[in-house]
Amino acid sequence: MGSTSAQNNGGLGRRDVIKRSAALGLVGVPAVSFLSACASGGGDSNGTPKPNKGRTSAKNPLGVNATAPLDFVIFDGGFGTQYAKDANVLYNKTFPKAKVTLTPTQKIQTTLQPRFNGGTPPDLIDNSGAEQMDMGVLVGQKQLADLTPLMDAPSYDDPNKKVRDTLRPGVLEMGQYNGKPVYVMNYAYTVYGVWYSQKALDRFDAKYPENWDDMLALCAKAKKKGVAGWTYAGKYPYYIPFSLYPFIGKIGGREVLDAIDNLEPNCWKAPAVKAAFDAYYELYKKGYILQGTPGLDHIQSQTAWTQYKALFIPDGSWVENEAAKTTPKDFQMKVSAPSSLDSSDKLPFGTIWASGGEPYIVPAKAKNPLGAMEQLRIMLSEESSKNFIQKVKSLSSYNGGTDGITLTSALQSGADALKLAGGNVLNPRLQDWYVDLQKQKIGVGALGEMMAGRMTPAECVKKCQQYSDAAAKDSSITHYKHQ
């Protein structure tokens, strides 16, 4: 879905951090193993904690037991763990008698499955990385506490504002599954889109192309100089949607993406989907995609991009850290919303996909759920948010925290893109509601085939619809819908 990228998990890097985007569960362990293992784990009937409460006060609005220990397990990936350690210090300032245990691991599921089985899960979990536990499964098995008490608590900095009112667009919704309870607090905030180097565009005396005709013209110009227009993670083509989905939403409106998330009949047959597929296929047909791209992984495609072999790449804002080792100092990394297709698009230029990542959860059977929520309340303060931004070069889900600190080119462009988008921030849910459908079937089985020229746009539409219909009819998976 942090800072050092590919050193973790044999080079998975910030893909580790993305599952992170609630993310893709990228190299995930099959969810069914966790489902069966959890079936005995329980939680009460509605996933609401029965906390050992302390006395509420202005400093302790959740009523945390001041002496109860806090057991916190964190994914040790691209974001590292220092930002959480710093937040632990703030927790102990308020509750000096509480023992806080922070356990870093890269193997979330292996580490925690036995604890869920035994009914002794930790209080707070950063559920991320290659072994991310499937959130849809956890919710379906009533394994998670409802975080509404956190969302309704006064914010750390302003008691007149609730925590929910301090979050960036889409963060609250990303934690919801079929209704009002909030089961997941995504702490990082990811901007998805078309990434580029301002220096590379300067070489062609070009600005970012705000419409598709200008995009094709720039790609043609670059091709004459031996530079590809685009590259992408060919081995992991579920990266393509990071720019393609908001492009579809821009063309046809957010209801087109909602229908896809809802697995509605004929959702992939919408005219906006076909138009977007046709546009992307044209990149292949005209030879504007870097040769060999279908064989590249995420790191190799990003490296080709930072070596100026291609102008554009669909990615998320973790790319700054993941590609740091190969990025020239004067690269001027930036992100943009997708170009407009034409003047008939339903939404304006600037429409972008941005959403929470780095999902934090509180188990239904946690011993100190209120302490866990208080730790999250602290992390959603301006001080903790600024610390996170500076330490890991990612925005947090706290709507602010950038005043008075110098942002990198990539971070600044992400903040600028969000400002330009205003209310036109899209948040497709397919990747966290239906991990296998998004990752393997739609991504590898359809979009990857089309972009490699092995499938026409019409065939790709048909294949995506078949996959969607099969998922809709599959009674073994929990189904979710936009409310």
Tell me the pLDDT tens digit for each residue of 382-400.
999 999 998 888 899 999 8
Tell me the pLDDT tens digit for each residue of 431-476.
888 888 998 899 999 999 999 999 999 999 999 999 999 999 999 8
Please compute the mean of the pLDDT values over residues 57-71 and round it to a whole number.
95
Domain ranges of the chain: 5-190+356-406
**pLDDT over 90 (residue 337):** yes
**pLDDT over 50 (residue 28):** no
**Which residues on adjacent β-strands are paired with residue 102?**
72
Write the DSSP assignment of 106-170 as a string of letters. S-HHHHHHHHHHTT---SEEE--STT---HHHHHHTT-B---HHHHHSBPSS-TTSBGGGGBPTT
| 17: confidence class by pLDDT, cuts 50, 70, 90 | very low
Q: In this structure, which topology does domain 5-190+356-406 adopt according to CATH?
A: D-Maltodextrin-Binding Protein; domain 2 (3.40.190)
CB within 8 Å of 15: residues ≥ 6 apart = 1, 24, 26, 27, 130, 236, 298, 322
Is 0.75 topped by the overall pTM? Answer: yes
300 sits in which H/E element: helix 298-306
pLDDT for position 1: 40
The lowest-confidence range among 17-26, 347-356, 420-429 is 17-26
| Euclidean distance between CA atoms 476 and 102, whole angstroms | 35
Tell me the pLDDT tens digit for each residue of 287-309.
999 999 999 999 999 999 999 99
Tell me the pLDDT tens digit for each residue of 98-107.
999 999 998 9
Asked if 225 and 451 touch (Cβ cutoff 8 Å), the reply is no
| Euclidean distance between CA atoms 145 and 154, whole angstroms | 19
pLDDT for position 13: 38
Asked if 420 and 348 touch (Cβ cutoff 8 Å), the reply is no
**Which residues on adjacent β-strands are paired with residue 248?**
none
| 29: confidence class by pLDDT, cuts 50, 70, 90 | very low
- Collapse the DSSP code of 195 into the 3-class scheme (helix H, G, I; strand E, B; otherwise coil) and give the result: strand
Percentage of residues of the chain with pLDDT beyond 90: 74
Query: What is the SS3 string spanning 335-401?
Result: EECCCECCCCCCCCCCCEEEEEEEEEECECCCCCHHHHHHHHHHHCCHHHHHHHHHHHCCEECECCC
| Euclidean distance between CA atoms 445 and 289, whole angstroms | 19
Q: What values do phi and psi take at 433, rounded to 5?
A: -80, -40
| 249: confidence class by pLDDT, cuts 50, 70, 90 | very high
Mean pLDDT of the chain: 88
pLDDT for position 483: 78
Distance between first and last Cα of the chain: 25
Alpha-carbon distance values, 15 to 9, 94, 358, 366 (Å): 10, 35, 11, 28
Burial class (CB in 10 A: 0-12, 13-18, 19+), 331: buried
pLDDT for position 52: 62
Write the DSSP assignment of 72-119 as a string of letters. EEEE-STT-SHHHHHHHHHHHHH-TTSPEEEEEES-HHHHHHHHHHTT
pLDDT for position 135: 85
**pLDDT over 90 (residue 339):** yes
pLDDT for position 146: 97
